[in-house]
């Protein structure tokens, strides 16, 4: 056990304490899987990450570093806010990517591109599988959320690693007014993301879209700001013409956070999910 | 906003990551209550604390430092593991008590004295607000909620010293470790469970490691029933109950957190009218926080 460089980063916010935190161990060489699992359970954050040199294969394919991501329940192949937070920590520690403006992260999912621009970092949304939810599921979820059928404008089962039931709702007030029965959602075993796209969503100067993420089955009744959910919601809604090609999301308001997620589809139809990050805790960890 | 010294401390263990974590901002001067609360919520830990110089009255009465203790959603007048962890961080950062071996903490309940014994710290158990046996209906409900037979609950008592613990003693540590409690039955109850690790029926007997009891703490969390890794207040109240009625010796070690992969060790010692509750702490993260 020795002192290793450590940072706790707030992601999707530039105000410390108003985004979603991730704990980053900047040099995880020599730690066992059980060391990582134990530390991630102890931080009690939704995610803790461990930075490692890229594998030989990863490096040959362009990777700048390798990342392992753990929730308190175990290792994850990929996650959005930990990816951005760790990239911020890696850059802040004085590293530079091999390709200017583009960091390549190696993780269990494979290689993930992270674009650097104007003080924000954005990850390339992973491929999405989506399908219509079973007709029996939506009314059960709606009732656990306290929604009436006319308030739901669209529903889609979204799978880009984590599986979310996405619900497009009729107004920002509906989204922000929800008081879900988390115990029932937990019993139903389905994580749910709700979104409203406002009439001025294409103006990205102000957030025109609101999102909330309910994940009691994953152990987290409401997640403050959620990278992968925003990625899959954007893939669905942009493809179906239900949202503009770029927009700014507000998430976390009901938890006292002020998360901001920047969504952008590029000319190759790749969706990028980005935001700011700020280092809140900096020092060493005994591991 | 500025950089402030920060530690994240593991409490009730000498082995890093086997206890109960605590975030400690070592200089909370100038922070608003709102900022302290927001930072606590952000850490996602059961408690975060903020060290301050004692108030003039506190200093006159002997306080070495003042601490404000927050859990998600509210400020607490006192709590056990945050007291031990804050005092450890204060000493680690170079704090020197006015009286060697004795640290006086000023907090919401007033002055709390901590005893220093090598690398271990102990606080004096606060007086019980409510004691005596539980209502039989409660005992039956707890038995069902824990999934044990009513006859497996050998003894029971109120263990309310602020947190409203209901304490039950089962036949053995094995039985305590095997519990799979049902949140829908226990509902809003805070339940502390204890079972002997030593020879059943022999007061003061221990296992090979010298541990007398296995403890578990269940409470309603924000996602159903939650289990606390290592709990100062519960162990303090259990000690007062068990020593008081002769079910425990005047000095013992309890284990907690085993089912969560932790190895919390709580040292209990009666000295005159005072019961001391203590343990070791380890600083796991140290650095600065932007607040």
SS3 annotation, B136-163: HHHHHHHHHHHCCCHHHCCEEEEEECCC
Tell me what the mean pLDDT of segment A19-35 comes to: 97
Instruction: Look at residue B241 in the predicted model and tell me its pLDDT.
Output: 97
What is the biggest distance separating any 2 CA atoms in chain A, rounded to whole angstroms? Answer: 58
Check CB contact of B39 with chain A, cutoff 8 Å. yes
Tell me what the mean pLDDT of segment A163-182 comes to: 97
Query: Which of chain B's residues have a Cβ under 8 Å away from the Cβ of A16?
Result: 1, 290-291
Query: Which of chain A's residues have a Cβ under 8 Å away from the Cβ of B10?
Result: 42
Check CB contact of A4 with chain B, cutoff 8 Å. no
- Please name the member of A46, A220, A256 whose beta carbon is closest to the beta carbon of B41: A256
Nearest chain B CA: its distance from A255 CA (Å): 9
pLDDT, averaged across chain B: 95
pLDDT digits (tens, 9 = 90+) for A212-243: 999 999 888 999 999 999 999 999 999 999 99
Q: Hey, are the CB atoms on A42 and B284 less than 8 Å from each other?
A: yes
Q: Hey, are the CB atoms on A44 and B17 less than 8 Å from each other?
A: no
pLDDT of A41 higher than 80: yes
Tell me what the mean pLDDT of segment B47-58 comes to: 97
Burial of B160 (0-12, 13-18, 19+ CB in 10 A): middle
Instruction: Look at residue A214 in the predicted model and tell me its pLDDT.
Output: 97
Q: Hey, are the CB atoms on A10 and B42 less than 8 Å from each other?
A: yes
Instruction: Look at residue A118 in the predicted model and tell me its pLDDT.
Output: 86
Interface mutation vs chain B, best among A40, A42, A71, A225, most B CBs within 10 Å: A42
Query: Which token pair is A206?
Result: 């102000």
* A 256-285 near B (Cβ less than 8 A): 256, 278-285
Query: Which of chain B's residues have a Cβ under 8 Å away from the Cβ of A286?
Result: 16, 282-285
Instruction: State the pLDDT confidence band at B223, using cuts at 50, 70 and 90.
Output: confident
Q: Hey, are the CB atoms on A17 and B45 less than 8 Å from each other?
A: no
Q: Hey, are the CB atoms on A281 and B224 less than 8 Å from each other?
A: no
pLDDT digits (tens, 9 = 90+) for B22-34: 999 999 999 999 9
pLDDT digits (tens, 9 = 90+) for B237-251: 999 999 999 999 999
pLDDT digits (tens, 9 = 90+) for B101-120: 999 999 998 999 999 988 89
HSE toward the beta carbon, residue A14, CA cutoff 13 A: 7
DSSP category for residue B83: H
Query: Which of chain B's residues have a Cβ under 8 Å away from the Cβ of A21?
Result: 42-44
What is the ipTM metric for this complex?
0.93
A29, A47, A235, A253: which one is catalytic? A47
Query: Which of chain A's residues have a Cβ under 8 Å away from the Cβ of B6?
Result: 281, 283
Parallel, antiparallel, or unpaired for β A271-275 and A259-265? antiparallel
The region, left, alpha or beta by phi > 0 then psi within -120 to 50, assigned to residue A144 is: alpha
B47 belongs to the catalytic site: yes
Check CB contact of A223 with chain B, cutoff 8 Å. no
Instruction: State the pLDDT confidence band at B221, using cuts at 50, 70 and 90.
Output: confident
Tell me what the mean pLDDT of segment A121-128 comes to: 96
Q: Quick one: how far is CA B242 from the chain centroid?
A: 17
Q: Hey, are the CB atoms on A216 and B223 less than 8 Å from each other?
A: yes
Least confident segment among A1-15, B199-213, B266-280: B199-213
Instruction: Look at residue B118 in the predicted model and tell me its pLDDT.
Output: 84
pLDDT of B290 higher than 90: yes
Q: Hey, are the CB atoms on A219 and B223 less than 8 Å from each other?
A: yes
Check CB contact of B258 with chain A, cutoff 8 Å. no
Q: Hey, are the CB atoms on A44 and B45 less than 8 Å from each other?
A: yes
Instruction: State the pLDDT confidence band at A147, using cuts at 50, 70 and 90.
Output: very high
pLDDT of B147 higher than 80: yes
Are A10 and A278 spatial neighbours (Cβ–Cβ below 8 Å)? yes
Instruction: Look at residue A221 in the predicted model and tell me its pLDDT.
Output: 92
Are B49 and B90 spatial neighbours (Cβ–Cβ below 8 Å)? no
Nearest chain A CA: its distance from B231 CA (Å): 15
pLDDT above 70 coverage of chain B, percent:
100
pLDDT, averaged across chain A: 96
pLDDT of B201 higher than 90: no
Check CB contact of B6 with chain A, cutoff 8 Å. yes
Q: Quick one: how far is CA A112 from the chain centroid?
A: 14
Instruction: State the pLDDT confidence band at A89, using cuts at 50, 70 and 90.
Output: very high
Q: Hey, are the CB atoms on A284 and B287 less than 8 Å from each other?
A: yes
Distance, CA of A283 to CA of B282 (rounded, Å): 16
Instruction: Look at residue B256 in the predicted model and tell me its pLDDT.
Output: 98
* A 42-101 near B (Cβ less than 8 A): 42-46
Tell me what the mean pLDDT of segment A202-216 comes to: 96
- Please name the member of B42, B222, B283 whose beta carbon is closest to the beta carbon of A17: B42
pLDDT above 90 coverage of chain B, percent:
91
Q: Hey, are the CB atoms on B286 and A284 less than 8 Å from each other?
A: yes
Instruction: State the pLDDT confidence band at B204, using cuts at 50, 70 and 90.
Output: confident
pLDDT of B162 higher than 90: no
């Amino acid at each position: 056990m020795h002192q290793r460089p450590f940072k706790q980063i707030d992601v999707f916010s530039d105000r410390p304490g108003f985004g979603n935190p991730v704990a980053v161990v900047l040099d995880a060489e020599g730690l066992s899987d059980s060391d990582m699992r134990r530390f991630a359970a102890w931080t009690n954050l939704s995610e803790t990450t461990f930075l490692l040199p890229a594998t030989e294969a990863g490096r040959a394919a362009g990777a700048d570093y390798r990342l392992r991501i753990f929730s308190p329940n175990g290792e994850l192949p990929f996650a959005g806010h930990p990816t951005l937070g760790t990239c911020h920590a890696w850059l802040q520690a004085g590293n530079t990517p091999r390709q200017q403006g583009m960091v390549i992260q190696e993780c269990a999912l494979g290689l993930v591109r992270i674009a650097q621009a104007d003080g924000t970092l954005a990850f390339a949304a992973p491929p999405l599988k989506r399908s219509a939810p079973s007709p029996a599921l939506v009314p059960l979820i709606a009732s656990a959320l306290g929604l009436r059928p006319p308030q739901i404008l669209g529903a889609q089962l979204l799978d880009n690693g984590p599986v979310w039931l996405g619900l497009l709702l009729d107004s920002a007030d509906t989204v922000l007014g929800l008081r879900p029965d988390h115990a029932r959602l937990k019993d139903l075993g389905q994580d749910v993301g709700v979104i409203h796209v406002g009439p001025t969503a294409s103006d990205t100067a102000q957030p025109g879209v609101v999102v909330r993420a309910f994940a009691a089955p994953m152990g987290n009744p409401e997640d403050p700001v959620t990278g992968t959910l925003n990625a899959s919601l954007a893939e669905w809604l942009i493809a179906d013409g239900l949202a503009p090609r770029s927009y700014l999301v507000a998430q976390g308001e009901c938890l006292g956070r002020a998360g901001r997620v920047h969504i952008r589809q590029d000319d190759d139809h790749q969706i990028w999910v980005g935001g700011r990050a700020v280092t809140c805790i900096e020092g060493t960890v005994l591991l | 906003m500025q950089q402030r010294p920060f530690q994240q401390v593991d409490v009730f263990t000498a082995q890093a990551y086997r206890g109960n974590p605590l975030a400690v901002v070592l200089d909370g001067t100038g922070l608003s209550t709102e900022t302290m609360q927001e930072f606590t919520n952000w850490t996602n830990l059961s408690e975060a604390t903020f060290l301050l110089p004692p108030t003039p009255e506190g200093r006159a009465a002997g306080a070495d430092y003042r601490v404000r203790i927050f859990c998600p959603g509210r400020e607490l007048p006192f709590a056990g593991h945050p007291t031990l962890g804050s005092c450890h961080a204060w000493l680690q950062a170079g704090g020197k008590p006015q009286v060697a071996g004795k640290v006086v903490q000023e907090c919401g309940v007033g002055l709390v004295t901590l005893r220093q014994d090598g690398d271990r710290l102990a606080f004096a158990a606060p007086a019980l607000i409510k004691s005596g046996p539980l209502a039989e209906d409660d005992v039956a409900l707890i038995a069902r909620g824990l999934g044990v037979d009513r006859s497996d609950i050998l003894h029971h008592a109120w263990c309310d010293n602020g947190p409203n613990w209901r304490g039950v003693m089962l036949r053995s540590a094995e039985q305590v470790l095997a519990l799979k409690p049902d949140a829908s039955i226990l509902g809003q109850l805070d339940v502390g469970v204890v079972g002997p690790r030593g020879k059943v029926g022999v007061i003061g007997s221990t296992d090979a490691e010298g541990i007398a009891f296995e403890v578990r703490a269940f409470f309603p969390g924000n996602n159903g029933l939650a289990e606390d890794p290592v709990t100062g207040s519960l162990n303090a109240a259990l000690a007062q109950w068990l020593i008081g009625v002769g079910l425990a010796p005047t000095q013992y070690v309890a284990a907690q957190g085993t089912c969560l992969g932790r190895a919390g060790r709580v040292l209990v010692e009666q000295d005159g009218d005072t019961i001391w509750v203590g343990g070791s702490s380890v600083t796991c993260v140290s650095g600065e926080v932007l607040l």
